[in-house]
Structure 1
């Protein structure tokens, strides 16, 4: 690859002038700018993104803020690993760096200090909740016009941009799948209501029931924390109302897998006695026994899209008032149903 010195020699200017032109720093004569750009184009010179960031007083980093949960290996969970893979792909393609940062769940976090100290140029927030302390911290970024996106969490504040999946539709499809097979009394194992996606999944489940004129029964609603252990522990509560249940829909695969394990240990066959459907289409879903019916969520695509949109908003065109700079940016990606054996009868499978 050509060097900056070669560009300077061809254009007949100093290396410092080449740097100022390519970084768009300071006043430059139009003729000089044209010479430098023509020389760079002719030599195929590509500006080093990190050096460019320092020249502009920027860090060159996109910050990703995650919740710190002791004894939980976030990077081993399908949810976080897929989103981070998508983010990493987009950031690498843009030649920028990725800085991982942790916050305490449910507590206020000073996002603005990350910008003030030039540690990051923009921010992506994962695993956020609607707890007042967390929402205040995120709203502060919106009020200060900082470049950021929240992934898979939405707020009523229209100034908070987010990329998320259509969890209402996904959960609706899961419940409808069970209803279409003649099941009417369907249990629902959900996550914490502090996550907007939990509330959306509950809405999708209730929508499917309403379509069939089936009343919502709170006794068939169970709560976990999206971990496999919480699914296993939910089996005890589900067994107490087993005589009322035809099937169970779960809000993620980890809870569904834990639930199936707990049911099996109690001698309840799945799907023979109790069909179960998960949510996420994680790597493990196809390999458990029985293979898990589930809803595919485009986590990788969500992460990639959020990072791409964020970096577009860092561009000079967006800062000059392009359409991408408008507030209230929300992107919802579709979900889809994946049918395997855990929700089917022996005849169907």
Structure 2
């Protein structure tokens, strides 16, 4: 339960426990009880022992420190399990998690990843009840009844949490990108390029990203004097496979559109591949724009125009907001909803020759 050093000259283990006891002004037995978390100890005594231990490099176990501070030292990241999807290869999740890890490590916390089945009702509160985490970051949330109930429970119980990448109207800490602006940027680029018959390949409406991107896109078309043709709106599931599958439908309607906006790069790349196999090339026969600015968007043929989303920064901001709340360092009177800026990236897929 504590760290010792081995004195090779005497051939026996020497403990710093006695030094800690002398510095803290307590007995060695008290030091042992504090470190092991056994027996009733006054809060002031616990603090003195831990401060002395830190000064002397005497490191208590995580369990003992948790007992004293009433904290686990863990930040939970709640993720959905998506069948047949390699979650950590998805640019969206990998970048956000990298940002979270960067911020959490700097603050001396550890990450605890917890997965749930995508079709199961979430139970975020159990991680708090079992003292596994001091706060949690929620990724992959959807706008449905079970999600709303789980988040409301966390909020009512006062557990620290922050939702990343999903917008809710309730007063929760949230960090996301400004996807309405992102959709608007896509429409503006295509309108400036002379495109007026634009198909939309969107994600499920249960994700606020899908709704916000569509709203910004359609609003900018309308302000530019172009009516969006809802018959040219198609729904995928943000996977490359779903974009590829929709290529057949769009090919059958190839004379009805001159551009396609796919709501993420994975669907755009799948669509690009499927249409290319049928003889239609992005950047020559139609303009194509994706969304996310993933690594893969730079290596497609042709390179994919897209919207840059600061996923890494989203992870950093969310983790910092959560940890500030745990430490009581937030200046705001209540929860905050942060929206980070997006920007358009022009590449060859939307530059019609």
Identify the residue that residue 83 of structure 1 maps to in structure 2.
96
* Structure 2 residue 267 is the aligned partner of structure 1 residue 255: yes
TM (norm. structure 2) is 0.85
Identify the residue that residue 275 of structure 1 maps to in structure 2.
287
Whole-angstrom CA distance in 2 between matches of 1:179 and 1:187: 13
CA change 1:27–1:97 in 2 (3 A) is: closer
TM (norm. structure 1) is 0.86
CA change 1:36–1:250 in 2 (3 A) is: closer
* Structure 2 residue 44 is the aligned partner of structure 1 residue 28: yes
Identify the residue that residue 11 of structure 2 maps to in structure 1.
none
* Structure 2 residue 228 is the aligned partner of structure 1 residue 216: yes
Per-residue CA deviation, residues 110-153 of structure 1 (Å, 9 max, x unaligned), is 21121111111111111110011122112211121110011011
Number of aligned residue pairs: 333
* Structure 2 residue 124 is the aligned partner of structure 1 residue 111: yes
* Structure 2 residue 331 is the aligned partner of structure 1 residue 323: yes
Asked if structure 2 preserves the Cα contact closer than 8 Å seen for 1:106 and 1:131, the reply is: no
Structure 2: 5+ residue stretches without partners: 1-15, 35-40
Counterparts of residues 162-201 of structure 1 (less than 5 Å):
162-201=174-213
Indicate which of 205, 217, 220 corresponds to 1:205: 217
Identify the residue that residue 298 of structure 2 maps to in structure 1.
286
CA change 1:36–1:71 in 2 (3 A) is: closer
Whole-angstrom CA distance in 1 between matches of 2:340 and 2:17: 42
Whole-angstrom CA distance in 1 between matches of 2:24 and 2:67: 24
Identify the residue that residue 306 of structure 1 maps to in structure 2.
318
Asked if structure 2 preserves the Cα contact closer than 8 Å seen for 1:149 and 1:310, the reply is: yes
Structure 1: 5+ residue stretches without partners: none
Q: Which has the larger radius of gyration?
A: 2
Whole-angstrom CA distance in 1 between matches of 2:27 and 2:306: 61
Identify the residue that residue 138 of structure 2 maps to in structure 1.
125
Whole-angstrom CA distance in 1 between matches of 2:322 and 2:68: 21
Identify the residue that residue 334 of structure 1 maps to in structure 2.
341
Identify the residue that residue 228 of structure 1 maps to in structure 2.
240
